[in-house]
Structure 1
Amino acid sequence: MNYSNLQVSILGSNKLTGNMPSSLGSLSALELLFLNKNDLSGDVTLSLENCNSLVIVDLSENHLSGGLSIWLGNSSAALKVLVLRSNRFRDSIPREIPKELTSLYGVRFLNLSNNQLHGKIPKKISDMTFLESLDISTNQLTSVIPQRMASLTFLSHLNLSHNNFSSRIPSSTQLQSFSALNFIGNHHLCGPPLTPSCVGGDSSLEPTPNVDDEGGESSGWVEMKWFYMGMPFGFVVGFWSVFGLLAFNKAWRYAFF
């Protein structure tokens, strides 16, 4: 509490035990916090929300549990790297996390691997447009991979392996550029690059081009449907705009033939 101007705290790879002290919140100038590879337990202290200058936070390889605290939502927009892998977090991504986690627009490196997270990937993860690395492997996440993840154009590392994802991997140049190793361990997941196609008796593995991850018709399919519905009308209009004139204009008819 006496080091309010401290900017870097590197205490990783020690044998620190107990809970994270609430006094960390008094380090308002803190930019780098490394407490990885210790024996810390309990919740992530809420007082971290007072550290508005944090750029890198690494709390990996501890015994932290409980919810991923509200400090995420109140963290500084300067936060770029968040590493929480190999702990004991058990929150559900759809309810405790989406509002707070996806509001971290500036995060470029996010690692939540090897915890006990369950639920879905939040659809608003596409709001984290600067993400370059995302690792949520070795959890208990379920449901489909949101189509919106294809819009994370800066993503150069992705690991979704060893979860319980199902259905088809969304088709996009972005997602299909990753290795199959990044999707393995999801027994009901199919499609490139994991498998050549989605086939079999399980209807959950069949492609659903007319339904997006929001549960409604995708805009692309709606546009295609109206395109095909309008083809007969367009043909009739086009045909009579040419041959109708020829039929009723003798001079044009002679000139055409």
Structure 2
Amino acid sequence: MAANSSMAVDDSNPVQWRRDAATSRTVRILWSLGAGTFFAAALIIVFWRLYDLARQLGGESIIIAAFGALIVAILVFAFGSNTERRLERVTERLPISAPSGTSLDRALDAALGMLVMAGAIVVLMAIGRYVSTNELLALGAGPFTLLAALTIPLALVALALSSFLRSVGSLDYEERTIYLHDPDQAIDLSVIEDVSIYRVGNAAILSLEYAQPDGRYVKGPRTIAVPPEIATEVQELVAREN
């Protein structure tokens, strides 16, 4: 039975769940903005180098038009219909295979994240330049340049969070066990003394407090991310055990 099912809980059947970029908006946004930031930084560097070179040759408009066309193409592929078919037609004469399915979805998410973060970085840099040119702040463009630079470490945090919030597993009521996959782990609820739940977007973070029988340390994850309904079920099962 799926975790988001509205049916009554059947203790004889494990409840399965999957939280990834395809099923969780929080994971998807974090992945999109995290990966997109690095692509955005690369895009800005490439654009500026090519623009600077083209300006010396009087061809700035060509570079602007090319990057404008790239942005339009990304938006068309991301929001248009029959995306896979469109991409196949574009790449059929190229020595590469077009991504499809989940790979295509993640690529489009990263591309959209790239556009969003490129826009944010450019706006920050433009504001900094305007402030510096007009001497509106004593610090000049420093604060805005710092904010633009901070997008890189923040992107790493976003990617780490998307990885942490991603989870696949099942809750077995009969065995009183949580089975996690990728990597495979089993959490015996009989050795859990207390459970705390913290909500993060559409996810629930379970903080598990393990018993220490005879003073022995019990191996196992102390914090896991699961759907809210699974978190509630786990908390109730632990309460019954104790």
Q: Which has the larger radius of gyration?
A: 1
Alignment TM-score, normalising by the size of structure 2: 0.24
Alignment TM-score, normalising by the size of structure 1: 0.23
Report 1 or 2 for greater relative contact order, CA contacts < 8 Å, sequence distance ≥ 6. 2
